[in-house]
């Protein structure tokens, strides 16, 4: 079995002066696999994502990147992490700087990694925009000129412009309307196939999980209570909490045809 790109190994975390948020969490994210982290609000999903991104240091356990323990103070290792792992955030309105043009927003990872020079046009920006279904002329515009779905496409272009191996997505469609959600899910599926992109996604929307992810990890109060293939977890859940999550999904009542 190949070495996971990114792992949580017996991870624990507590904010200062507060009760622990995560307890003994272990997750492997292996190349080519799409993984969902699901649970109710407060389950610890976003905190786990922040730890995997190296934005926060765990209070117990360790993060492993490419087989080596992640050390946040190791600048070279963190640079490799940033080159290999990018993120798309929940809100397409607050995650884009309104004062910057789209070309500068999308090229930000290239500049921060020393792969592009400030002030010069980079053909990779146009290619990244095209890959997410936006025209090249979008590069000269500002975020306020786009809809929520288009802004999320810009955020995905920014996250994928440096060709990362792993995309971490924090509720990437929850702020969008239903039709736009479907389009963004289709886009992520296409990028996964065409770029060989591995995706790990935080979500509370089980329909999104079923559409995009092959493996599902269920968190309750900071602990993993169930994990496995998505079809098995959602179709035949073994833990009472997972069953409650599934039965809490709203369903429209059946209507007679005609």
* Domain-located, residue 1: no
pLDDT score for 99:
95
Give every residue of the chain whose pLDDT is below 50, as ranges: 252-258
pTM for this entry: 0.90
34-38 β-sheet, strand order: 85-88, 166-170, 198-203, 34-38, 215-220, 223-229
pLDDT score for 254:
43
* Domain-located, residue 254: no
Q: Which residues, including other chains, have CB under 8 Å from residue 84's CB and lie 6 or more apart?
A: 5, 65, 66, 164, 165, 166
pLDDT score for 102:
96
Query: Is 9:26 a contact under the CB 8 Å cutoff?
Result: yes
Domain CATH code at residue 93: 3.40.50.300
Q: With CA atoms as reference, report the closest residue to 127 among 136, 118, 119, 117.
A: 136
Number of domains in the chain: 1
pLDDT score for 248:
80
Q: With CA atoms as reference, report the closest residue to 131 among 151, 156, 152.
A: 156
SS3 call for 145: helix
* Domain-located, residue 224: yes
pLDDT score for 90:
87
pLDDT score for 218:
96
Query: Is 206:251 a contact under the CB 8 Å cutoff?
Result: no
SS3 call for 9: strand
pLDDT score for 253:
47
pLDDT tens-digit series, residues 126-152: 999 999 999 989 999 999 999 999 999
* Domain-located, residue 76: yes
By the 10 Å C-beta count (0-12 exposed, 13-18 middle, 19+ buried), 154 is classed as: buried
* Domain-located, residue 142: yes
**DSSP-derived secondary structure letter, 253:** P
pLDDT score for 16:
85
Segments forming the whole domain that contains residue 35: 6-247
* Domain-located, residue 257: no
pLDDT score for 223:
96
* Rounded Cα distance, 175 and 188, in Å: 16
């Amino acid at each position: 079995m190949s070495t996971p790109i990114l792992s949580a190994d017996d991870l624990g975390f507590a904010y200062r002066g507060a009760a622990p948020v995560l307890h003994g969490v272990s997750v492997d994210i292996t190349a080519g696999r799409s993984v969902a982290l699901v649970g109710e609000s407060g389950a610890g999903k976003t905190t786990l994502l922040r730890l995997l991104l190296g934005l926060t240091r765990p209070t117990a356990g360790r993060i492993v990147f490419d087989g080596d323990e992640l050390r946040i103070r190791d600048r070279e290792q963190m640079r490799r992490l940033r080159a290999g792992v990018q993120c798309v955030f929940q809100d397409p309105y607050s995650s884009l700087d309104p004062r910057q043009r789209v070309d500068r927003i999308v090229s930000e990872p290239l500049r921060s990694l020393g792969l592009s020079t400030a002030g010069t046009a980079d053909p990779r920006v146009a290619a990244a925009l095209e890959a997410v279904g936006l025209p090249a002329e979008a590069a000269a515009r500002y975020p306020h000129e786009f809809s929520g779905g288009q802004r999320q496409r810009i955020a995905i272009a920014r996250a994928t412009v440096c060709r990362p191996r792993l995309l971490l997505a924090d509720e990437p469609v929850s702020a969008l309307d239903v039709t736009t959600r479907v389009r963004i899910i289709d886009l992520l599926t296409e990028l996964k196939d065409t770029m060989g992109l591995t995706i790990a996604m935080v979500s509370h929307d089980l329909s999104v999980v079923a559409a995009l992810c092959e493996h599902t990890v269920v968190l309750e109060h900071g602990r993993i209570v169930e994990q496995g293939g998505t079809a098995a977890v959602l179709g035949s859940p073994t833990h009472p909490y997972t069953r409650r999550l599934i039965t809490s999904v709203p369903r429209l009542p059946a209507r007679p045809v005609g």
